């Protein structure tokens, strides 16, 4: 039986009808119509569905929506910040553009969201720490080296 749940997504209060065990990903995409998190494997193995819950990168395809009802949720759409009348991309988002770090772009949500959470905790992450932090992500196009360069570029920006 569906429950009325209140979520805070990208700083906005949202009310949805869902059973508490519904994957967060389904609510974000189907009910809230957000396009950042993507369905990849459905098993928390690829990372395409990654969002931040309370600042932690989590795989939304296996996260029950009922477990995050009282926590702030940030999707790819919520990483950019509004300053005055303009939106400023997060340093990781801008670095991915600057490094042309994707090919098809399907997995990019997971890479950006995971990297943003990693660098928020450790903006001076070493190459080894970046590689370890991103090791659970999958990209079928093989853009891994460009993505690593983008994360290193973002780290320099964030630690400056």
Q: Give the HSE-up count for residue 25: Cα atoms under 13 Å, Cβ half-sphere.
A: 22
Strands, E assignment, 54-137: 56-59, 72-74, 81-83, 86-88
Return the pLDDT at 85: 81
Instruction: State the pLDDT at residue 142.
Output: 86
Q: Which residues pair with 12 in a beta bridge?
A: 9
87 band by pLDDT with thresholds 50, 70 and 90: confident
Confidence band, pLDDT 50/70/90 cuts, at residue 108: very high
Going through the chain in order, the beta strands assigned E by DSSP cover: 3-9, 12-18, 50-53, 56-59, 72-74, 81-83, 86-88
- Average pLDDT of the residues in 99-111: 95
Average pLDDT over residues 16-25: 97
Please tell me the pTM assigned to this model: 0.95
Q: What is the pLDDT at residue 61? A: 98
Domains and CATH numbers, the chain: 3-79 (3.10.20.30), 81-159 (1.10.150.120)
The bridge status of strand 72-74 relative to strand 81-83 is unpaired
Q: By the 8 A CB rule, do 38 and 15 touch?
A: no
Each residue's pLDDT tens digit, 33-76? 999 999 999 999 999 999 999 999 999 999 999 999 989 999 99
């Amino acid at each position: 039986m569906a429950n009325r749940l209140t979520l805070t997504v990208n700083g906005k209060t949202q009310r949805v009808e869902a059973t508490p065990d519904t994957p967060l990903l389904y609510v974000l995409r189907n009910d809230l119509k957000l396009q950042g998190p993507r369905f990849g494997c459905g098993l928390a193995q690829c990372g395409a569905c990654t969002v931040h819950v309370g600042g932690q990168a989590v795989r939304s395809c296996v996260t029950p929506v009922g477990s995050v009802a009282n926590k702030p949720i940030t999707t790819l759409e919520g990483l950019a910040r509004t300053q005055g009348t303009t939106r400023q991309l997060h340093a990781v988002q801008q670095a991915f553009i600057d490094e042309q770090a994707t090919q098809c772009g399907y997995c990019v949500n997971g890479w950006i969201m995971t990297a943003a959470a990693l660098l928020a905790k450790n903006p001076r992450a070493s190459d080894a720490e970046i590689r370890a932090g991103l090791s659970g992500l999958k990209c079928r196009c093989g853009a891994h080296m460009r993505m690593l360069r983008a994360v290193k570029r973002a780290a320099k920006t964030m630690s400056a």
